[in-house]
Structures are given as C-alpha cells and as structure tokens.
Amino acid sequence: MIDELKRIEEQARAELVAAADEASLEAWRVTWLGRKGRLTSVLRGLTDLPIEKRRRMGAAANSLKQALDSALALRQEQVQKERLAIIETGRLDVTLPGRTKRIGRLHPVTQTLRDVLAAFVSMGFSIVEGPEVESDYYNFEALRIGKDHPARDTMDTLYVDITHDGEYDVVMRTHTSPNQVRVMEKTRPPIRVVVPGRCYRNEATDPTHEWMQTQIELLAVDEGISLSDLKGTLYEFAKRIFGQERKVRFRCDYFPFVEPGAEMAIDCMICGGAGCRTCDGEGWIEVLGSGMVHPEILSNMGYDADRYTGFAAGLGIERICMLRYGIEDIRLFYANDLRFLKQF
C-alpha cells in the first residue's frame, strides 16, 4: 500500500511539471485529487484494512493529499508567472491584428433598388413582380406598340427561339411596362403598384448602355387621378432619393402607352444646374419616363375610361444608382470587380 502511494506521488508530480496551462492543471487536479481521482480511491479502499494499518495508511494518504494540494498551488502560480513573463518580454505580440472576416454586402444596384421601392411603399404602393420572359403581346401589342411601330426600333429586342404560327412572339422583356397590363387585367381600381425587375436589350455596350438593366414600373389607377398626382408622387421620390434640395423638371415626351407622356429630369447634383460633365453641360439629368395611362389601354382592360384615370412611370435603377454615387460607367455594375463593389 505504501508502495502504491509512492507510485502515485511520483507519477502525479511528473505530470504536474508537464502541465503548462490552466486547462491541463485543472485536468491534473481532476485525475489525481478529484472525487473520482486516484488518491480518493486509495482512501476509499482503506475501509477494508485492519484498524492499525488503516490508521497508518490513512495518515500517509492524507499527508500525500496535502502535499499534492500545495504542489498544485505552487505550479498554478508558476504557470501564471510564466504567462505574464511571455507577454512582458514581448515574445507574444498582442498588438498583431487578428485575421478579420470578410463581410458580404448588397450590390449597389440592389441597395438603390431597395431604397427606391421603400420610398414608394411608404407612399402607399405595393410591390408585385412579373415574368422576365414575356410575350410579344404584353411587351408590345397591349402597350399600343404594333408590329411596325417605330418604338420597336428603340428597343433592340432579344427574341426567344420559339415560334407560334411561324412567328417569333416570345421575348426577353425590354421593359417592366408589360406589368401595367398584367396588373390591370388581374385587379380593379384603386391600383397602386411598383414592379421591379430585370430587363434585356440587344445593346452594344458603352458607358451608358448595358444589355441588362433593372427597372421599376410605377402604376396608379383610380377615380380622379390627374397629372398633378403623377408630378407630386415623382417629386417626392426625387427628394427622398436625391436630396431635399433637388429641383424637378417635366417635359413632354412620347411613349405609345401614355397620353400625355413626360420625361422627368432633376437639376444636376454635381454642378447644381450650371452644367458639367455628368449632365453633359445641360444642368439637368433625365431620370425617368412617365405619363397618364392611355385611355385606350384602360378601355381594353374593361375599365370605364371616363371614370378611371391613371399614371405610370418607368425608372432605370442603374441610372439612378450612377447619379447617386457619381459612377461614370454602367458596365462596372456587372463586371464583378471587388475593388469596385467593395466601395458601397
């Protein structure tokens, strides 16, 4: 028995010297001195011994326990000191920066899209979506852009390789305007919707043209809607997205599906209207097309065009994003260059 205590002591002390941090010191304590530790089980075994032997062994085991307790305390102190010494002598450079995790972010176009949607939602519009692959009917015909209408030339269309009766009549939508028709077909006034989405055109790319762009279509139809509602709504949008002090200019423009049609421009936020590179010396920057929904379209939808009127607008989100941040080339958005994207 005495031999066993000796062996315990030797092995325990050897392992204690090897324990060099707090976790291994704690593991050592559990192994040797814990409730189920080696020494405790020796003490438990004493009950089977004759009384005389038990007394001697008990005393020896208890003094070993005390010895190991104080050896542990000593070693804990030592380990603590060693750690402080390492820090003080500079062997461990706590000033070395750790490895930072790279955090993702939203694409600048997505950020602008969400901000614009939020502006309209707070004015009472709901968000709906429509298909990116569209029929010729919704993309053109229903919007009064017939087969030989010159407006088709302004939208270099990507046709999908499907024919009906020998005609290619499925397209990648060139704008979000087909959703004016889709929404009116399915619902009755009052209507207030915004429709975000990707649009596609067969563009030769340059600093202001991409073959894919993001648009938001705006549509409100109700009794008594007038041009001043259109202006008020778009004016509020311009102030929220481009700043309180922006001036807004409406000018006549032509789009087959509205009457009258108007383009909206804001005074250039770079030069304040004096004329600069961003605004091409104009002082004004065009941001969207808009107008009063054509009465013929309202009638085609089965609405009483004497009773109901509506306004519509189409916004190019890349354009708005470029103006907001002073980005000079639209192609940067989809070039996937992290040096560009990280700035937003």
Among the listed residues 136, 169, 217, 267, the single contact to ligand DAH using CB under 6 A? 217
According to DSSP, the residues that pair with 213 across neighbouring strands are 199
Q: How many residues line the site for ligand DAH (CB under 6 A)?
A: 12
Q: Does 319 bind ligand DAH (CB under 6 A)?
A: no
Half-sphere exposure at residue 29, Cβ-oriented, CA atoms within 13 angstroms: 15
Q: Does 314 bind ligand DAH (CB under 6 A)?
A: yes
Among the listed residues 19, 128, 181, 313, the single contact to ligand DAH using CB under 6 A? 313
CB of 227 to ligand DAH, least distance (A): 12
Binding mask 230-259 for ligand DAH (x = CB under 6 A): -------------------------x--x-
Cβ proximity to ligand DAH, 145 vs 327, nearer residue: 145
Helices (H), the chain: 2-18, 22-33, 38-45, 51-88, 108-121, 136-139, 178-186, 227-242, 295-300, 317-325, 338-341
Binding mask 155-194 for ligand DAH (x = CB under 6 A): --------------------x-x-----------------
Cβ proximity to ligand DAH, 8 vs 313, nearer residue: 313
Cβ proximity to ligand DAH, 32 vs 303, nearer residue: 303
Could you give the CA distance from residue 216 to residue 113 in angstroms, rounded to a whole number?
8
Name the token pair of 58: 């008990």
Contact 34/40 with Cβ under 8 angstroms? yes
CB of 246 to ligand DAH, least distance (A): 20
Distance set, CA 60 to CA 2, 46, 54, 67, 212 (Å): 8, 11, 10, 10, 87
Cβ proximity to ligand DAH, 57 vs 195, nearer residue: 195
Q: Does 312 bind ligand DAH (CB under 6 A)?
A: yes
Radius of gyration of the chain (CA): 39
Distance set, CA 107 to CA 91, 247, 332, 342 (Å): 43, 28, 11, 9
Residues 34-93 that bind ligand DAH (CB under 6 A): none
CB of 223 to ligand DAH, least distance (A): 20
Could you give the CA distance from residue 324 to residue 190 in angstroms, rounded to a whole number?
32
Contact 264/290 with Cβ under 8 angstroms? yes
Binding mask 281-310 for ligand DAH (x = CB under 6 A): --------xxx-------------------
Could you give the CA distance from residue 227 to residue 118 in angstroms, rounded to a whole number?
23
Give contact residues for ligand DAH (rule: CB under 6 A): 175, 177, 217, 255, 258, 261, 289-291, 312-314
